[in-house]
Structure 1
Amino acid sequence: MNQERDTSATLRKLLTTLSNLPDEASRRNYIERHPRVVRPAIVEQVANAVRESVRVDVSRAFSLAEAAMAIAQQLHDDDAVARALRAKGNVLWVKGEYKAAVRLFQQAVRLFQRAGKITEVGRTLSTSIQPLALMGEYDRALSAAKTAEEIFKKTGEDLRLSRLEINIANVFHRRGDLPEALARYERAYKQLLPDKDAEGIGVALHNMAVCLISLNDFQRALETYQTARKFCQEHSMPLLAAQANYNIAYLHYLRGDYNEALEILRRTRQACRDNSDAYHWALCNLDQSTIYLELNLIKEGEELAREASVQFQKLSLSYESMRALTNVAIAMSRKGDASGALKLFAQARSKATAEKNPIWPQLIDLYRASVLLNQGQLSKTQRLASTALTFFLSYPLPEKAAICHLLLARAGLQAGDFRGADRHCCQAL
């Protein structure tokens, strides 16, 4: 027992030392002076520490990942180098550097395959799904998921299959298949509970709530977020807790409580900046711009939307960039720049179509129709609004369908079709 305690204390001391090495030169000097650390077991222990640290302290996790890489490169051992590459990839995707993360995961997969470590191949492929999905590489993400699933079934790893379910659900969520995504999140959550997998449970709860918002089940979403936030705080996962706060802010916004939503977003944005969570920092800017636009604070809304657009472009996130670009276009239309707004709406729609998202092209067409109506282009307005109405009725998204009806009613009034306008007003109710 005392030996285990001493070993644990020695490892903690080593991890602290490695995490405080500021650059490549200092890591190289340390390794030269302490050759006993150049062992595969040390690389594995440091890589495991990266996984544990990345949701708590991204800077520490990155320093440890760099240390693991420096040690592994001295070993010329495929398994050790692959573990270090995967560890660094994990940190990079949390930091929002998705392309670089995917490259490292691919290198790790090849090395694990060469080393005959089939389970580690499955783990790495499973980890690569989320950054691939965030980049819009859905087919590659699902291909990686299929291979990982086959591996975990073959090796009988039920826990990894449950975690894989979350990653697959993320892909369906981003593609707009919300019922399928929610069903998979709920299934993963129930499967993870017996194993007391804290990180997996926290992620599943968080993503369940995101889906519930999109499905307009606000009360259940709020309850799930509150459960997720409490769970993440109790299990020392500040990044996930901050993300839960971000989404609770979004719920307040949807309920019309703008002051509370803005205050939570301000606090959450600072927490995300402090934890190097570039993705949720940008999301806070995006949602705050949406609130400002609803409050008719056009200048502030446009500034934050443009800032979010730049952030998402740096992160190579086409879907989120499309949303930010849409907000910029809305702001421009409110300022009377119809030509500029329509140009940006067209760019945003192209991004949405490339993402294969079924909802956003129709939603952007609705915004375009509103601009065209104000320009007196009634036939184009009616065509776009009618097509969007058909979609929103079939999806179904009744609140969006109601907006389509109101837009068609306005177009009918301008065209002198009073009976048609009255019919659309009644259907909007």
Structure 2
Amino acid sequence: MIKRIWMLVCLISVLSATAQQQAVDSLRKMLDGHPGQDTVRLHLLNELAFAYYAVDPAEGVTIAEEAIALARRIDHPRLLAAAYNSKGTNLWAKGEDSLAMEAGETALGIHQKAGNKLGAAKALNNLALNYYNLSDFGKALEYHETALALFRELNHHTGIAHSFSNMGVVYLSLSDYPKALRHFLNGARYWENGDSAALANTYLNVGLVYKNMKDYPRAMQYASDALDIYVRIGQKQGEANACGNLGTISSENGDTAAALRYYERALELNNAIGNKRRIASDLVNIAVAYRKMNDIPAAAAYLQKGLQLYEQTNDKENTAFTLINLAGLYPHAPTTLPTLRKALRLAEEAGSLQNQSLAWETMSKTYERSGRHAAALDAYRRHILLRDSIYNSAKTKEVARQQIQFEFEKKEALLKAAHEKDNALAQAEIERRKAIEVAIMAGAIILLAASAAGYALFRKKRNAEFRAKIADTEMKALRAQMNPHFIFNSLNAISNFIDRNEPQLADDYLMRFSKLVRMILENSGLKEISLTDDLQALQLYLELEALRLKDRFTYEVKVDEAVDPDNTLVPPLILQPFVENSIWHGVSKRENGGRILIDIRQHDGKLRCRIADNGPGRNSGKPAEAGKRSLGTHITQSRIDILNAQQNGGADITFTDMPQGLQVTVSLPLMLKF
């Protein structure tokens, strides 16, 4: 039996929570470009320190200490607390719980003194994780409950989701599987759509419930789905955890060779990250695999290495499990019974029913071998009582009921999501029209007042008209980007995937579609966004159309090295209408071989964006097509006119007919964040 597989706890940062290498590289670049010792640099240091926790926690500690020093120099309490929080997070990831606790308590004290409830809730969550790692499950639940109450008071959905998920992990360690599953599913209901890491965490944790209930096929499916997501988003720590869990499930299901492969992959990843606790877990799991293969010397060597690391981190639960396995290797040794008694004491202190049951079972076998039958029978009776308290029929029925409810709600959510998106778009259109009506009425009032107030009020009327034009143009741009044909085709594509019994494709398409809708609605209300964010929305749109049209065309997005997309600002969704024209009236007219190129570079102090396709172009002899292309051009030209009025010129659109296809060049003033 293998005890330690990883339950995904959820860390909460005061700032960003991404830990992917791409985020680290981007933040590093921004930090190098801002040498000033001010709050901007302090924000970047805190975000970078937290981003390192799943990539290189030792470097994360170094960055956090630099942030602490800077926060003290410029006397910024809130960001000082954030720096301590980031330091504690990285120490937690390294397995140095005592130091992590000190940093977390310091952050909590600063937040409480300043009356910052959100910061205090996040600090309480992270402190609860440290108590969990020290096997103080009662204290962990107490801190999570306190954090949950604060998050609910603030209506902070992400924090509520984290708290539920982390409490589920604690209940899983306490072998209360119905409560564990209920908390995991309650947390999942609060995650925002498109949060891949949160979805993977939920899958991995739900898989653990079924592993412990010995439903191995279902456990394997959830863990495999989680691994696929972690690999896709580049989350190395999550990938290592999923590999460890898959190894455990494979081992308990009788496939020791597959288990060893998963464990070795997990150990390689955790060694690169430097996480002591997870390295110890991998070592012990590998040892148990070697024991099953009857390689006792190798098993003993790996167990001793793992035991040293667990004792360093004061992990009572897993120290007990490792001691039980060491005792089991040498059942006739004089140290076997003392070792088992020590393991039993640690398991009782940690409140681990699983390890208590395992210790009594191993002790019973040891007594039996030495001829102490009465003691063996008593130990076995204790083992059975503990085992039955974990796996009773009521809990099994409750877990089955929870699973049925979860599957039903997941299917219902897919239908509801499509319906809600239609309603959301309709409501957004109504609100836009109301805004225009208000603007028109305001313009009329200003116009009447201008006849009496003279030139000064006339200028105000002109300004009001200009603002109305901006609102009208923004509404038309949003309608062009979210036209009913695109929405209908997207929902129809999802329906087709479901009809063809391709739920994974339908799920993937729905996730991308919902993320694109959210990005368009959010970005349409902003004056400028980063080129990175704009290209991300454009990439999602291209992916959806390529999938819907069954890859009838290919596309390429090229950004010149001289352009820093994170630091470059553009009007939101300025290129999308031209890309839509290239797809709908260009490459979609071809049976195959369609190509779209989006090339962005800096030239003469401007940002030049070129969209070229190999469709029929404007010289195809089809005037209707040219007319259709002009709609997106007209709307975007209005936006360009507004931009020129605000930026004193510099923006324009040019069209170039090519032998095959059409090229559109959009020139924008070069606008930078810093």
What is the TM-score when the length of structure 1 is the normalising length?
0.81
Q: Measure how far apart 1:393 and its partner are.
A: 4.3
Deviations 1:381-411, CA, capped at 9 Å, x for gaps: 2232233234434544334323222222222
CA contact (8 A) 1:378 1:411 kept: no
Structure 2 equivalent of residue 7 of structure 1: none
- Larger Rg, first or second structure (1 or 2): 2
Structure 1 equivalent of residue 363 of structure 2: 408
Deviations 1:126-154, CA, capped at 9 Å, x for gaps: 23211111212223222222322332233
Structure 1 equivalent of residue 27 of structure 2: 65
Paired AA for residue 351 in structure 1: L
Cα distance, 1:378–1:190 mapped onto 2, change above 3 Å? same
Structure 1 equivalent of residue 241 of structure 2: 283
Structure 2 equivalent of residue 40 of structure 1: none
Structure 1 equivalent of residue 549 of structure 2: none
Match of 1:369 among 314, 327, 330: 327
Match of 1:323 among 281, 295, 301: 281
- SS at 1:231 equivalent: coil
Q: Distance in 1 between matches of 2:320 and 2:335?
A: 14
- SS at 2:334 equivalent: helix
Match of 1:222 among 178, 181, 190: 181
CA contact (8 A) 1:51 1:61 kept: no
Match of 2:207 among 249, 254, 257: 249
Q: Distance in 2 between matches of 1:315 and 1:391?
A: 28
Q: Does 1:99 align with 2:54?
A: no
Q: How does 1:97-136 map to 2 (within 5 A)?
A: 97-136=56-95
Cα distance, 1:131–1:59 mapped onto 2, change above 3 Å? closer
Q: Measure how far apart 1:66 and its partner are.
A: 3.5
Q: Distance in 2 between matches of 1:302 and 1:348?
A: 16
Q: How does 1:297-336 map to 2 (within 5 A)?
A: 297-336=255-294
CA contact (8 A) 1:232 1:238 kept: no
Q: Does 1:384 align with 2:339?
A: yes
Structure 1: give runs of 5+ residues left out of the alignment.
Answer: 1-49
- SS at 2:379 equivalent: helix
Q: Distance in 1 between matches of 2:357 and 2:322?
A: 15
Deviations 1:164-189, CA, capped at 9 Å, x for gaps: 11111111111111110111111101
CA contact (8 A) 1:202 1:240 kept: no
Structure 2 equivalent of residue 36 of structure 1: none
Structure 1 equivalent of residue 594 of structure 2: none
Deviations 1:267-290, CA, capped at 9 Å, x for gaps: 110101111211111011111111
- SS at 2:214 equivalent: coil
Cα distance, 1:65–1:217 mapped onto 2, change above 3 Å? same
Structure 1 equivalent of residue 297 of structure 2: 339
Structure 2 equivalent of residue 90 of structure 1: 50
Structure 1 equivalent of residue 407 of structure 2: none
Paired AA for residue 355 in structure 2: K
CA contact (8 A) 1:378 1:415 kept: no
Cα distance, 1:240–1:419 mapped onto 2, change above 3 Å? same
Paired AA for residue 340 in structure 1: A
Paired AA for residue 302 in structure 1: L
Q: Distance in 2 between matches of 1:108 and 1:411?
A: 55
Q: Does 1:79 align with 2:39?
A: yes
Q: Measure how far apart 1:122 and its partner are.
A: 1.2
Q: Distance in 1 between matches of 2:99 and 2:354?
A: 34
Q: Distance in 2 between matches of 1:102 and 1:394?
A: 31
Structure 2: give runs of 5+ residues left out of the alignment.
Answer: 1-13, 385-674
Paired AA for residue 204 in structure 2: Y
- SS at 1:82 equivalent: helix
- SS at 2:234 equivalent: coil
Q: Distance in 1 between matches of 2:355 and 2:46?
A: 43
- SS at 2:189 equivalent: helix
Q: Distance in 1 between matches of 2:345 and 2:100?
A: 31
Structure 2 equivalent of residue 423 of structure 1: 378
What is the TM-score when the length of structure 2 is the normalising length?
0.53
- Which deviates more, 145-154 or 109-118? 145-154
Q: Distance in 2 between matches of 1:192 and 1:393?
A: 33
Identity %: 16
Q: Does 1:397 align with 2:348?
A: no
Cα distance, 1:339–1:124 mapped onto 2, change above 3 Å? same
Match of 2:307 among 349, 367, 390: 349
Q: Distance in 1 between matches of 2:345 and 2:205?
A: 30
Structure 1 equivalent of residue 98 of structure 2: 139
Deviations 1:350-404, CA, capped at 9 Å, x for gaps: 111001111222211111111112xxx2533223223323443454433432322
Cα distance, 1:393–1:87 mapped onto 2, change above 3 Å? closer
Bigger strand fraction:
2
Cα distance, 1:387–1:171 mapped onto 2, change above 3 Å? closer
CA contact (8 A) 2:92 2:100 kept: yes
Q: Distance in 2 between matches of 1:239 and 1:70?
A: 28
Q: Distance in 1 between matches of 2:98 and 2:374?
A: 48
Match of 1:149 among 104, 108, 123: 108
Structure 2 equivalent of residue 270 of structure 1: 228
Q: Measure how far apart 1:112 and its partner are.
A: 1.7
Q: Measure how far apart 1:295 and its partner are.
A: 1.8
How many pairs does the alignment contain? 371
Deviations 1:47-75, CA, capped at 9 Å, x for gaps: xxx945x54x94664454235314422xx
CA contact (8 A) 2:310 2:318 kept: yes
Structure 2 equivalent of residue 4 of structure 1: none
Paired AA for residue 397 in structure 1: S
Cα distance, 1:70–1:372 mapped onto 2, change above 3 Å? same
Structure 1 equivalent of residue 316 of structure 2: 358
Q: How does 1:156-171 map to 2 (within 5 A)?
A: 156-171=115-130
- Which deviates more, 172-181 or 384-393? 384-393
- Which deviates more, 151-160 or 267-276? 151-160
Match of 1:202 among 124, 143, 161: 161
Q: Distance in 2 between matches of 1:89 and 1:398?
A: 37
Paired AA for residue 221 in structure 1: A
Bigger helix fraction:
1
Q: Distance in 1 between matches of 2:102 and 2:358?
A: 38
Q: Measure how far apart 1:222 and its partner are.
A: 0.5
- The alignment yields a C-alpha RMSD, in angstroms, of 2.1
- SS at 1:379 equivalent: coil
CA contact (8 A) 2:15 2:46 kept: no
- SS at 2:274 equivalent: coil
CA contact (8 A) 1:96 1:279 kept: yes
CA contact (8 A) 1:130 1:170 kept: no
CA contact (8 A) 2:49 2:86 kept: no
Paired AA for residue 413 in structure 1: E
- SS at 2:55 equivalent: coil
- SS at 2:314 equivalent: coil
CA contact (8 A) 1:188 1:204 kept: yes
